[in-house]
Chain A
Amino acid sequence: MTNFRKFGSVCAVAALVLTNGCRKMDDETEAALLGAINPVIDTCNITKSPKPGTPVTTEMAKSGLPCAVTFNQGNELADLQLDFDFNSWLTFVALHEDDGDMAMWQGWQDMGSLMLPDGKAPPPFGQSVPAPEICTGGADGAPVLKMISKTPTTPTASISGEPLNTGPLIDQNGNYARYQILVNEVMYDYIVDNKLYSKAGQAAFDKDIAFPEGNVTKDTTGTMGAIVLKVSWKVLAGDDDPADFHSVKGYVYSPATADTPESCVTETLGLVGMHIVHKTKQEPQWLWGTFEHKDNVPDSPTSSGRFHFYDPSCTDCEVNAEAPQPWNPAVEPFPGNFRSQIVRTTTYPSEAVDSAARWNPEFQQALKGTALANYRLVTTQWPTDGGSTTDPMGAPFPLFAANTTMETYVQATRSGDGWVNTPQATSSCMSCHNNATTTNGKESDFSFVLEKAE
């Protein structure tokens, strides 16, 4: 066990004493344990966003992981958006700090090693279940990339996880984009210590689901909140330059279907999208920051440039159309020469547009020479009225937010020659996750992770 951690030891001791596990301990012990899940730390990054005219420096960009948003710009929507977006950038950069030979976040717990068949207990934090037998020859501990959409279902099951429209994303090489969901240690501990990784554990859990909150109490002292990442990758092939990406060597796995055997190939994959979702005390509806590779898609149809998911030379490719079924990632390149032709179509309010337009070039400049300089913040969605008594979403802003690699087909609604945002149909992180529940239908604090338990 390489990750011998605070809670693991406490629980093990308690279990020895009480034999009936952690959940039946007295309140005092339980309170202590909650503290262990979400321990006080003194390394919260509290860097303030610079005022206009002061550029983001490399040091500032790499100043570390915030426990919560530090406000500095003012009280108007536009000011607050700047602070939330700055916080998202700091978080994105900090998550990519090397932790040994990989980015910090890559050591977090993948859904595939958290929600296990038959509700089995997951391995310790940072450890993976063994890769399928067919996966051999890759780097030790290489991630196994199974998902072809951001909802963790096999392609043989229903993929209608997004209401109304859905489907896989096919890059210009004809390969399926691959997805991962990961949780940080705080989130992992909350799930494991409360046995929420199984249907049975969820049924037995008699409290409200409330993931730990990030918070700063004084200076750099505070707590880290639960963080969920949704990550999209593309297989690097053809003209792709690995230096342009934050990349990883991983197993690309496809299950058997009626027509194709299971397959597993070792590939180098480049990061193309990342949702960073952090629960904080001030934002009980969580913070929803989302990043993309700058070369994913154009912001409007174009005949020039080079994109991962758009072909400028194609004049009759239908924009933002789902790939034809059947979807079988074992068959690549995608049959019939189909390639996704994706354009960014969500409309954002000026505050969000202006804020991203300010921070993206500044952070890209500060990160020059690193792969991270090739990424852009799309936006950060946050609650403007977190304590609302009438709206459990806390009045999100912006109203809509989409990552073109993850909410590809729910970015906006076709309207004549243009696109419009439609409530409930156009992607909104908080609007959708507001309905998240456990397997037995209990509210699960904006995370669909628990719904995947068996």
Chain B
Amino acid sequence: MSNDLDNFVAISSALTGIAASKLRPSLDTHKTAQAYLDYATEHGGSAFTELMGLSPAEVLEAVANEPDGDIAIMANCVTLMWYLGAWYFPDGLLAYKQGSSSFAPSVVISSDAYTQGWAWKVGQAHPMGYSELRYGYWSGQPSTLSDLVGGE
């Protein structure tokens, strides 16, 4: 299992641009990576199995070569799961991507998933309704992007 988790985190980091050490800290209090791996394994079907059989570089290659293919859409699902704490249904996501639907159906994975969404941190902010900061922080500069998302 730990191999699966390592690979999932590596793929996730390559897709999201968030450092692996942020997605899965050495002292992992939220265990988000494990929760997302479990969720995607249950809901992602064969496309997720296929994706997990690839290296991070191979996933990026698949996304670039065939952006509407099953692997690429599943990669999008994984990215969005990390960014928004929600699971987008692959079929609906493809329709939205191709412009045949104006709505991409999704479910919020959990309250913890919502409050750990990375889109907000990439915006140097926090999920609406969940701030770890203190009174008046909004009148000053936020943490730097690299402090928030990690990596070089």
Interface residues of A (CB under 8 A from B): 77, 80, 349, 384-385, 389-393, 395-399, 420-424, 431, 434-435, 437, 441, 443
Contact = CB atoms under 8 A, between A and B. Distances in A.
A392 B132 contact: yes
Nearest to A435: B134
B2 interface: no
Contacts of A437: 135
Given A385-B27, A399-B29, A420-B111, A390 B148 contact: yes
Given A423-B111, A424-B130, A389 B143 contact: yes
Interface in B121-140: 129-130, 132-135
B115 interface: yes
Interface in B14-40: 25, 27-31
B23 to A, nearest CB: 14
A435 B137 CA distance: 12
B77 to A, nearest CB: 24
Contacts of A424: 129-130
| Chain B interface, DSSP helix/strand/loop, else mixed | loop
Contacts of B134: 392, 434-435, 443
Closest 5 pairs (CB-CB, A-B):
A384-B27, A397-B29, A390-B143, A423-B115, A391-B132
B123 to A, nearest CB: 13
Contact of A397 (B27, B129, B147): B27
Contacts of A397: 27, 29
A70 B58 CA distance: 46
B112 interface: yes
Contacts of B25: 384-385, 395
Interface residues of B, number: 18
24 contacts: A77-B27, A77-B28, A77-B29, A80-B27, A349-B31, A384-B27, A390-B147, A390-B148, A391-B132, A395-B25, A395-B27, A397-B27, A399-B29, A420-B111, A421-B111, A423-B111, A423-B130, A424-B130, A431-B132, A434-B132, A435-B134, A435-B135, A441-B135, A443-B134
Given A389-B143, A443-B134, A395 B111 contact: no
Nearest to B144: A389
A395 B147 CA distance: 14
Contacts of B130: 423-424
Contacts of A392: 132-134
Given A384-B25, A390-B147, A437-B135, 18 more contacts: A77-B28, A385-B27, A391-B132, A392-B133, A393-B132, A395-B29, A397-B27, A399-B112, A421-B111, A421-B112, A422-B111, A423-B111, A423-B115, A424-B129, A424-B130, A431-B132, A434-B132, A435-B134
A349 B133 CA distance: 24
A14 B51 CA distance: 72
A398 B112 CA distance: 13
A437 to B, nearest CB: 7
Nearest to B132: A391
A320 to B, nearest CB: 19
Contacts of A77: 27-29
Nearest to B111: A422
A421 to B, nearest CB: 8
A344 B29 CA distance: 21
Nearest to A420: B111
Contacts of B27: 77, 80, 384-385, 395, 397
A397 B25 CA distance: 13
B66 to A, nearest CB: 37
A395 B22 CA distance: 12
Nearest to B22: A390
A389 B147 CA distance: 7
A30 B25 CA distance: 41
Contacts of B129: 424
A80 B27 CA distance: 10
Contacts of A80: 27
Contacts of A443: 134-135
B149 to A, nearest CB: 10
Contact of A384 (B29, B133, B143, B148): B29
Nearest to A384: B27
B8 to A, nearest CB: 19
A390 B147 CA distance: 7
Contacts of A420: 111
A443 B135 CA distance: 8
Interface string B56-70: 000000000000000
Nearest to A436: B134
Contacts of B111: 420-423
A8 to B, nearest CB: 34
Nearest to A390: B143
A398 B27 CA distance: 11
A60 B129 CA distance: 45
A399 B132 contact: no
